[in-house]
Amino acid sequence: MPEVQGPPQPSSPGVPGRLSSAGSCFWVAVLDGNVVGIVAARAHEEDNTLELLRMSVDSRFRGKGIAKALGRKVLEFAVVHNYSAVVLGTTAVKVAAHKLYESLGFRHMGASDHYVLPGMTLSLAERLFFQVRYHRYRLQLREE
């Protein structure tokens, strides 16, 4: 099982991968000295939620519990820092990704078929051949 490491100490500004806003963190999963997975979390003070972002595991190491370990690390961080919920949005098309979120306790909150990726121009070709479904998930930790 990989070791999940993160975040750099606040006293180390400029560390690559460090998120700038308060309450935000970045973790890496390390196996045999190599980074095999990443995940980030960003705080949203206005509703006291933590957003899980950019979870990714090297394709050669998928199916080994690495993504689940990274997800649990975000959930632990949320509990320790007293967030009311953890939220995420994904355009993942793989069923395994959605099953992972649900296995961590997230509840599917809905989907949108008209999501526009950054950089898309919504040209006729993009509208005909490239549609992205955006899914929203939420794990309620406590009531506000």
pLDDT of residue 57: 95
Q: Would you kindly state where each structural domain of the chain is located, as residue ranges?
A: 3-140
Which of 91-98's residues contact partners 24+ apart within 8 Å by CB, and which partners?
A: 91/115, 91/117, 91/132, 91/133, 91/134, 91/135, 92/135, 93/133, 96/62, 98/135
Residues of the chain with pLDDT under 50: 8-18
pLDDT of residue 24: 82
- Is the distance from CB of 84 to CB of 43 less than 8 angstroms? no
CATH superfamily of 3-140: Gcn5-related N-acetyltransferase (GNAT) (3.40.630.30)
pLDDT of residue 129: 64
Amino acid at 25: C
